[in-house]
Structure 1
Amino acid sequence: MAVVVWIVEGTWPACVDAARAHAPEDADVVLLYVTPAEVPGVAHGAFAGLLGRGRPDRDPGTRLADLAAASAGELLQAAADRLGRPCTRTRRTGRIEHEVVAAAEGADLLILARDGDRTHLGPRSLGPASRFVVDHAPCPALLVWPEPAPGLSTMPPPPPHPPHHG
């Protein structure tokens, strides 16, 4: 069994705990971290266009890319330590939701966390990237709450129904 665990700042412990609880001991677990490609690119562009042609040593895009790589490595290490069993750590760069879906191709399970409004039950508990991943996942997806789920009283009311004419 191949299990992909999407590691994101702030919600990763719940995903790792779900893998520990739901993935068989002999599962091939992949811890996946995706760095958005646009952040260093935007910084590179701003620096080149506005600030400093000819001074590549001062380009903030390079520094941001280095910080992102270090952060990804630290997060993946912490996730592997929490998982407490052999796993593969994978880093991808690009459009986050597309990279997660691509990484889940051929997997038996994808584990991800809610990342939107987690004070209420309902569709807003998913942010845009996780909504895309849930809608396009090429395998079963286990969607977890990073903290205890809110009560049923937070569920939005049903939409009004038009009257029936008979």
Structure 2
Amino acid sequence: MPDTEAAVVIWITEGTWQASVDAALRFVQPGAPITLLHVTPAELSDTAHSAYLGLFGRARPDRDPGPQVAKLAAESAAGLLDAAAARLGRPAGRIERNGAPEREVVTAVADAALLIVARDGDRSRLGPKSLGKATRFVVDHAPCPVLVVWPEAAPAVATIPPPPPHPPDPRKPPGPPRP
């Protein structure tokens, strides 16, 4: 596994990786070490295998789709990492992991100088929902600085959700002021 100490790690995810790579090209000093990270969710092949067991039992292990799904996922991950490396246009380490993406990313960046991620939630408005569940976990738990980028132009400031209503001040009695 490549050494990520003092490296900038770019989390490569389907659909948003281009923005993360472009951010590295814009903000990372030339010559700084970069590592491309992709995590394949373990549930992909696990779900296929479980479905096979539930439907067909264990009588025909040669028909278990779990290994085939794992192989296809690994090929897809390699393709994404190849495309990211080509877009980056400079040497970069690579890390491929399987498991819970949020936990694998946090573990992988333990010694990183910076993690670059792209928003993957509701990108139609500003706010916390612009981060998906795994990305929110990573942003909250990463042991290094995190640069969060928009995969496309950011929505207008007017899309910020309204503030929650303020609860009444418990020190003031309800109703009109007393004379």
After TM superposition, the score normalised by the length of structure 2 is 0.89
Q: Partner of 2:137 in structure 1?
A: 132
Aligned runs of 1:83-162 on 2, under 5 Å? 83-162=88-167
Distance (whole Å) between structure 1 residues aligned to residue 161 and residue 69 of structure 2: 40
Distance (whole Å) between structure 2 residues aligned to residue 59 and residue 24 of structure 1: 47
| Matching of residue 77 in structure 1 with residue 68 in structure 2 | no
Distance (whole Å) between structure 2 residues aligned to residue 65 and residue 52 of structure 1: 20
Distance (whole Å) between structure 2 residues aligned to residue 74 and residue 89 of structure 1: 12
C-alpha RMSD of matched pairs (Å)? 1.2
Report deviation, 1:163. Answer: 4.0
Report deviation, 1:90. Answer: 1.1
Distance (whole Å) between structure 2 residues aligned to residue 101 and residue 89 of structure 1: 16
Unmatched 5+ stretches in structure 1:
none
Unmatched 5+ stretches in structure 2:
1-5, 173-179
For the pair shown, the structure with the greater C-alpha radius of gyration is 2
Distance (whole Å) between structure 1 residues aligned to residue 100 and residue 55 of structure 2: 25
Q: Partner of 1:45 in structure 2?
A: 50
Distance (whole Å) between structure 1 residues aligned to residue 52 and residue 20 of structure 2: 37
Name the aligned partner's letter for residue 108 of structure 2. Answer: A
Which of 31, 40, 45 does residue 35 from structure 1 map onto? 40
Distance (whole Å) between structure 1 residues aligned to residue 164 and residue 118 of structure 2: 26
Name the aligned partner's letter for residue 28 of structure 2. Answer: A
Name the aligned partner's letter for residue 21 of structure 1. Answer: R
After TM superposition, the score normalised by the length of structure 1 is 0.95
Q: Partner of 1:23 in structure 2?
A: 28
Find the residue that maps to 1:13 and give its secondary structure: helix
Report deviation, 1:50. Answer: 1.9
Report deviation, 1:28. Answer: 1.1
Distance (whole Å) between structure 1 residues aligned to residue 111 and residue 162 of structure 2: 38
Name the aligned partner's letter for residue 72 of structure 1. Answer: A
Q: Partner of 2:59 in structure 1?
A: 54
- What percent of counterpart residues are identical? 62
Report deviation, 1:162. Answer: 2.9
Q: Partner of 2:176 in structure 1?
A: none
- Following TM superposition, where does structure 1 have runs of at least 4 consecutive aligned residues deviating by more than 6 angstroms? none
Distance (whole Å) between structure 2 residues aligned to residue 160 and residue 54 of structure 1: 60
